C-alpha cells in the first residue's frame, strides 16, 4: 500500500465504479489539494479535462459516429495548452461488461485506430477522458505496481500451479466473477510470493487483464474525468460525474465548433403542452 502524504498543490483523482446486479456506473474526478491557483498549470489541466469531457459527451449521442468524438476533444484540451492522453478509450457498457465492443479512441494515430461505429439509442457509455500538460504519452515504469485487474471471460487455460489455481478460483468467486475490475486486496494467499506467482501465470496466459500504473514526464500534470452516460431519445443523460468549480484561467476556448458543442444542452428540454382553453 502507498502511505504517501498529500501536499498542497497535488492533483488527486478519485476513480470508482459500482454495479447493481451487473448493471454498471463509473465515475472519475480530479481535484487540486488546497485549490488550483488562477492561471496555474493545475487550473489549465483541470479546465482542459472538464471541457474535453463535456464535448465528448455531446458527441456520444445516438446516430453519431465514434469517429466524430476525438477531434473536438483535442481542440478543447489544446485551448488550455494541454493534450488528450493516448491509449484512453471510451467504452460501451452492458451488464457485467465494462468494455463493450463500441469504443472511442480518444487520440487516434497512424498506429492506433478504432473501427467506425455509430452510437445507438438506449446504449450506455463510460465517457473517459484523460488530459496532460505534456505530450500525453504516459509510460509504465514498473509492472509490479499494478494492483487492479479484471478477468478476460473469453480466455480458457488449465493453470498448472496450485497457487495460480487458488488465486483464479477466488477471482471467479467474486460477486462479478472477475468480469469487473478488482484489486489484489480482494484476494488472499499464504504469502506475498505465492500471490505474485499465481497472478503471473494467470497474466502469462491472458486470463487476466491488468490496469497498469502509468507515468507522465516529470513536471507535467495529468487530470482524469469520467462520466456514465445513457443515450436517450432526448439526447444524453449524464448519470454520474460532477463539474469543476472554483477554477479559473485566462486561457479560453475560441474554436467555434467546440463553443457550439458546449452551448448545446446534453438533453433537449421537454416542451410543455399548452392547456386547452376552457370554454
Q: What is the pLDDT of residues 181-219, one digit of tens each?
A: 999 999 998 888 899 999 999 999 999 999 999 999 999
Q: What does the pLDDT average to over 134-144?
A: 91
pLDDT of residue 274: 58
Q: How many CB atoms lie within 10 A of CB 71?
A: 15
Q: How many CB atoms lie within 10 A of CB 266?
A: 16
Q: What is the pLDDT of residues 7-52, one digit of tens each?
A: 999 999 999 999 999 999 999 999 999 999 999 999 999 999 999 9
Q: What string of DSSP letters covers the chain?
A: ---PPP-TT-EEEEEEEEEETTEEEEEEEEEETT-PPTTSHHHHHHHHHHHHHHHHHHHS-TT-BGGGSHHHHHHHHHTTT-EEPTT-EEEEEBTTBSS-S-EEESS--SS--PPP-B--TT-EEEEEEEEESS-S--B-S-GGG--EEEE-TT------SHHHHHHHHHHHTSTTTTSS-EEGGG---SSHHHHHHHHHHHHHTTSEEEE---BPPTT--EEEEEEEEEEETTEEEE-S-----S---S-----HHHHHHHHS-SBPPPPPPPPPPP-
Please check the confidence at residue 270 and state whether its pLDDT lies above 90.
Answer: no
Please check the confidence at residue 77 and state whether its pLDDT lies above 90.
Answer: yes
The reported pTM is 0.91
Query: What is the chain's mean pLDDT, rounded?
Result: 93
pLDDT of residue 124: 98
Please check the confidence at residue 149 and state whether its pLDDT lies above 90.
Answer: yes
pLDDT of residue 279: 47
pLDDT of residue 4: 84
Q: What does the pLDDT average to over 108-112?
A: 78
Q: What is the pLDDT of residues 167-183, one digit of tens each?
A: 999 999 999 999 999 99
Q: What is the pLDDT of residues 221-255, one digit of tens each?
A: 999 999 999 999 999 999 999 999 999 999 999 99
- Per the structure block, which three cell numbers stand in for 176? 462479478
pLDDT of residue 46: 98
Q: What does the pLDDT average to over 149-168?
A: 95
Q: What does the pLDDT average to over 43-68?
A: 97
pLDDT of residue 111: 75
Q: Decide if 149 contacts 210 (C-beta within 8 A).
A: yes
Q: Decide if 256 contacts 121 (C-beta within 8 A).
A: no
pLDDT of residue 272: 64
Amino acid at each position: 500500500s502507498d502511505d504517501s502524504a498529500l501536499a498542497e498543490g497535488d492533483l488527486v483523482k478519485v476513480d470508482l465504479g459500482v454495479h447493481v446486479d451487473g448493471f454498471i456506473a463509473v465515475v472519475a474526478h480530479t481535484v487540486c489539494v488546497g485549490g488550483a491557483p488562477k492561471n496555474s498549470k493545475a487550473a489549465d489541466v483541470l479546465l482542459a479535462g472538464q471541457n474535453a469531457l463535456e464535448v465528448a459527451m455531446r458527441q456520444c449521442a445516438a446516430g453519431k459516429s465514434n469517429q466524430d468524438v476525438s477531434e473536438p476533444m483535442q481542440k478543447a484540451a489544446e485551448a488550455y495548452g494541454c493534450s488528450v492522453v493516448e491509449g484512453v478509450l471510451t467504452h460501451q457498457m452492458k451488464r457485467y461488461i465494462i468494455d463493450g465492443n463500441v469504443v472511442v479512441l480518444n487520440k487516434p494515430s497512424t498506429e492506433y485506430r478504432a473501427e467506425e461505429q455509430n452510437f445507438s439509442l438506449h446504449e450506455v457509455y463510460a465517457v473517459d477522458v484523460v488530459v496532460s500538460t505534456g505530450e500525453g504519452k504516459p509510460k509504465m515504469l514498473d509492472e509490479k505496481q499494478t494492483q487492479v485487474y479484471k478477468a478476460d471471460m473469453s480466455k480458457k487455460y488449465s493453470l498448472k500451479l496450485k497457487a495460480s489455481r487458488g488465486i483464479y478460483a477466488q477471482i471467479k468467486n467474486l460477486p462479478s466473477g472477475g468480469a469487473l475490475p478488482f484489486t489484489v486486496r480482494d484476494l488472499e494467499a499464504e504469502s506475498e510470493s505465492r500471490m505474485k506467482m499465481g497472478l503471473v501465470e494467470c497474466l502469462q496466459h491472458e486470463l487476466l487483464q491488468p490496469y497498469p500504473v502509468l507515468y507522465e514526464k516529470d513536471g507535467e500534470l495529468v487530470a482524469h474525468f469520467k462520466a456514465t452516460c445513457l443515450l436517450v431519445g432526448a439526447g444524453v443523460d449524464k448519470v454520474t460525474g460532477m463539474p469543476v468549480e472554483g477554477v479559473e484561467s485566462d486561457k479560453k476556448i475560441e474554436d467555434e465548433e467546440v463553443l457550439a458543442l458546449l452551448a448545446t444542452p446534453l438533453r433537449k428540454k421537454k416542451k410543455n403542452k399548452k392547456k386547452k382553453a376552457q370554454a
